[in-house]
A and B are shown apart, each in its own frame.
Chain A
Amino acid sequence: DSGVTQTPKHLITATGQRVTLRCSPRSGDLSVYWYQQSLDQGLQFLIQYYNGEERAKGNILERFSAQQFPDLHSELNLSSLELGDSALYFCASSVTGGGYGYTFGSGTRLTVV
């Protein structure tokens, strides 16, 4: 157990729908990162939050949004889902905004049918 908790582990939904993925960072970690891993793709950085504030944006679609709450858990919202959004979505956390020592959760596998 890495200490980073992601729920749900699996999600199957239809095109056009909206889903919310949840991440609880490791205790004491202030920064949360979201990554997407599609088939044959590496880990694509989506967005980073630090202590409730958005810190950086990567290749995140406009249909996707995220937030980090006062208790530091984060949610990634995916809307108007398309077949191509099927992927593994990983959350990672770190103590600071620095990249050393990312701790990843075990991911949420999203399947859009």
Chain B
Amino acid sequence: DQQVKQNSPSLSVQEGRISILNCDYTNSMFDYFLWYKKYPAEGPTFLISISSIKDKNEDGRFTVFLNKSAKHLSLHIVPSQPGDSAVYFCAAGGIYYGGSQGNLIFGKGTKLSVKP
């Protein structure tokens, strides 16, 4: 049972345009969500997070939106740059979702390609 789903394995956008990466989750007990970025031959690196009490969090070119009623979150990158080309993982966690605090559940990732 996949609790965190990223239904698009890949996404290609032009440099300067907006990249929108989507993520759906099934467990309403998750209380925070994170995005990680992964380059080849490296471990995932933390990008941005959002608590379930918010619906938007912004950090520079990166904005995460959370729609709790739809159990959906998205990552917007504006403007997209070639250096943003990587695999992006959505992750969710919480104290009471059934796991332990700190145990993150990851999606399968979306490979973003930003073309010059």
Contact = CB atoms under 8 A, between A and B. Distances in A.
Interface of A: 2, 4, 31, 33, 35, 40-45, 48, 50, 55-56, 58, 90, 92, 94, 96-107
Given A100-B34, A100-B49, A104-B45, A58 B103 contact: yes
Given A42-B89, A42-B106, A99 B101 contact: yes
A98 B46 CA distance: 14
Nearest to A4: B43
Interface string B28-52: 0000101010000111111001000
Contact of B46 (A42, A48, A50, A101): A101
B108 A42 contact: yes
Interface residues of B, number: 26
Contacts of A102: 34, 36, 44, 46, 104
Contacts of A2: 43, 45
28 contacts: A2-B45, A33-B104, A35-B106, A41-B108, A42-B106, A42-B108, A42-B109, A43-B89, A43-B91, A45-B106, A48-B100, A48-B103, A50-B102, A55-B102, A56-B99, A56-B102, A96-B102, A97-B102, A99-B91, A99-B93, A99-B103, A99-B104, A100-B34, A102-B46, A102-B104, A103-B46, A104-B45, A106-B42
